[in-house]
Structure 1
Amino acid sequence: MLAIDRTMRASAIDEAENAADNEAAILAAGLESELDKFSLVPLVLARDPQVQSLMAGDRTQQSDLNQRLQQIAQQTGAAVIYLMNRDGMTLAASNWNLPDSFVGSAYSFRRYFVDAKASGVATEFALGTVSRRPGLYIARRVDAASGPVGVVAIKVEFNPLEASWAKATSGVYVTDADGVILVTSNPAWRFSTTASVAPGTRDAQQDLQQFGMAKLPPFDPGKNRESTLTPALIESLQPVPSLNWNLHLRSDPSTSLAAAKANGRLLFLLLLLLTAAIAALAVFGVRRREARAEALVTERTGRLREQLQQANRLATLGQITAGVGHEIRQPVAAIRILAETGERLGERGAHTEATANFARITALADRIGTITDELRRFSRRGLREPREVPLRQVIDGALLLLRDRMAQLNIDLILPPETNLDLIVRGEHVALEQVLVNLLQNAFDATGQEGTVSVDIIETGKFRKLSVTDNGCGLTADQRASLFQPFVTTKSEGLGLGLVISQDIMRGLDGDLIEEPVAVGTRFTMLIPAV
């Protein structure tokens, strides 16, 4: 009996450890997803023309920037976004109109400010000097032609994430490289240290400034346990590479051990009563135990995956994904139509035509992947090798994606002459098509039902000009002045990054994207290098 209990207990602990490792990996992925939402905001703002003007001393931008930062913070869920000059004085902030506004406060003593000025980018987890709420500060240096002129910072607080952890697990905490607990499901654990600290090895003044206490207490997770007879919790470790953090998950194996103990005793009784069927009953007991353990793992994994999916949905509200969502929906719609058509062709026995549809589906799926790669290229400032591309292919590909929308709006589309369509340019096919789709979508939005949109191609020097013109209401002077400014949009949805990304793509191909004045409507022109 004792031997069976020991065997079943050891097996149950192994399975509980494996389940805990899977849960820790899901939680770490959820945390990474939460952080990814905010990674692009400081990068884009550091290059923002309005931010550059404010840093250069143009205080007329301050009021507009305060309101923009407030809107961006609301859209992303950031606790606060603020801009500091080279001396650490806050010039603009998303909480400009609140009693605890950062505007006018100096943060040159903060480590993230010092490190960002030195290396360009920095992070620091600390208590807020005004709010006294913990959070992660992500900072990026603002550079001008004369050198560094300031720092843009965003503070991320993890209250909703910690609350979801507290409901789903026995205990979760995240430690930094020194073993200090930062994010946790149990607030009483925060800023205690899991590593032994020799006297005099930590900077007490720095700890007081960063964590609100000069001496960090040692982490003692077992002091509040109700009974010493309770099985020891299983601790799983999962790295969070982007910040050099580690996520620790403490799981209670009591349920698995209780099931294992019950199964072991049942197996013992069956062995006594039915010795003739010992092999079959042993298999039955093992399968029953495994089924219960699997059900427990499935329940926990499903709950955690649901939390991860919610984090991913929040991440899609971030600036870049929102900027190209309409560009991805069209290939998906085209894939569905091709699949449905292929199914009907297969039912009629037209297998050759159906196979051709599936090849088009594969090509559209590849195009979706390339578009998402283009977003990563935008953040990395990386370029693929250009090649010779016929403009006909670029235009045909864009119209394939937009065919349904054109039909719904009854758009009168005017295309260039056939001779111009055969012109060859130097670029990257999917990147050029992405920009053209963006411009056509904007033109359709401007014209609405039964509008007229024309696509023109002009040879001019070392460039080919591919223009999209609509007969909509046109642009005001203010709108024209801020066309390529991040987070500025006239649409009710979106973050206003579509034109910014498109212009960056064209410049990465040694071309450009410009707006040209016309008597009626709006015209955007892609300057594409000629072969």
Structure 2
Amino acid sequence: MPAADPIVTPRRAGRWPRRRLALWAGLLAGCVLLAFVVYRYAEDAAIGRLRLTGTQRLDTDTSSLEHLLSKYDFLPGTFELNKDVIAMLQRPGDEALRTEVNVYLERVNRLARSTTIYIVNLNGVTQASSNWREPDSFVGDNVAFRPYVRDAMRGAPGGFYGVGTTRGEPGYYFARGVYRDGRMLGVATVKVNIESVEGGWADAGGKVLLADAHGVVFLSSVPAWKYRTLAPLAPGVRQELEQSRQYFSHDLTPLGLREVRVLDSSARIVAVPGVRGAMLSQSRALVTRNWQMVYLSDLAPARASARAAASLTLLSEALVIMLVLYARQRHRLGRQRLRAREDLQRAYDNLESLVAERTASLQQMTRELREENIVRHQTEEQLRKTQGELVQAGKMAVLGQLSAGITHELNQPLTALRTMADNARVLIERGRIDDARANLATIAQLVERMGQLTGQLRQFARKADATLSAVVVADVVAAALFLVERRIAQERVGFRMSTHARDLYALCDSNRLQQVLVNLFSNALDAMEMAGSTERQLVVDAERNGARVLITVTDSGPGIPENIRAHLFEPFFTTKPQGKGLGLGLAISEQIVREFGGHLRAEPAPGGGARFIVDLPRAE
């Protein structure tokens, strides 16, 4: 007979789910416990690294502070070596001697880069001070109540940090007795500002504070913590500080540090009001000064690292559990993996086609951009050529305007040459060789004058290159003046150049700068002629202005109205009658000056008229 099926009772059927539930509960508890252990281990390790960093930071900061203060420890003791200081303390009524000591202290204070140096007599009254010239000088102040003065008078070197009662400036005071033949005559005090170390603390990161023996914070990388206390002050201590006026008008309220956990004698975890999260506090005693330096490190990164380690542990545990479940259900996951592989292949195929499409599009865009860039470069090159031709055209226009004066300037020497040549021939025929030689010398001078004029015109008309160099400003102004000199004389215009400095150089091209100045001179003469000015003045001024050179052209014409000034440098804008100008001169001049790295501007002259300023970079 076949065996009978086992009978499953309700009691046996419910036993397996309870065991499975207990197993999962135990597994979950074990995972949480392991994560907690990992968290504490990671937190302790991170705190250990922070402590190492904090210890190194405290070593560096205390060493730098001690080094800063040690530079001044010897200074007060040197003043008893000065015979004038000894004589002043022995003869307090000698004002001339007091002045000599004041000047000496002022010089030493400047060389030592200290805040103040002053000498106090045995009554605590300041006899001489490095700030004797200032309205709030220490001279005459009674500082006998200061602890560093009392210590020095007792024969012990005084060292004291406090806030000044005269100016309210904090600093560290070094005090030593001034002796003569073993007898104390007074006290020499040097005040040094050590607030500069706070900037280095702030730049290095973290939060650093320095407290005195009473727990008063007087230096801190956090400004709001200064003149606060690490713990509430006892009434006796507060009374002592008020009597010595060490911190003057500051309230000395508690900072409110709350201890969370003690790690050892020099490290603990604290909570700071106004700071989110706990901080690691490490302290270092400066035994020689009776100070305490505290370095506070933010624990947020350490705890974040610990949380990350715990989370990673939980994830690893979850991964192990998932792997176990995966092993039990591998046959179903195999089918799912096959379907996923097929879906992934389809997605990969789609991605390849999408990438190919986007690549073709990008290549097309690259070709279009390359072609557009070529066209833009060609356009810019054509624009540069056009601008150069426009500048040359403007120069030729100026030469055209000057042609009448130039023709007259050449006709006079030519007529004189012909006459004097005929005279020379007659004088030679008559044997008057000396007179003929004088005529020939005059002819040579006239020819040289004509050569200078034609050479200057040829130099002005040539096309300038784009190379910039150091140019003597006075030479360029003289060359530009040469081209309009005839017109200035004909129109009875008073010309004045207020500088002839040969060492004034501008970074530009001399030929193009000459074109700008000729244009400005011609416009000034046109303006005075059209206005019918009775008194005509043309003034040129060249001067340094820092790293710039300013060339100013001022006329006594009618000036430039505000509505016209806004359009002066626009091409083809002109206020001259038809046929007198194309309106290109100022536009071309402004473009030339801008290419030099400068700018051209117009403004009203103080006494009436117009003023144009050419601002150029100065060259050595």
Q: TM-score, normalised by structure 2?
A: 0.41
Q: TM-score, normalised by structure 1?
A: 0.47
Higher relative contact order (Cα pairs below 8 Å, separated by 6+ residues): 1
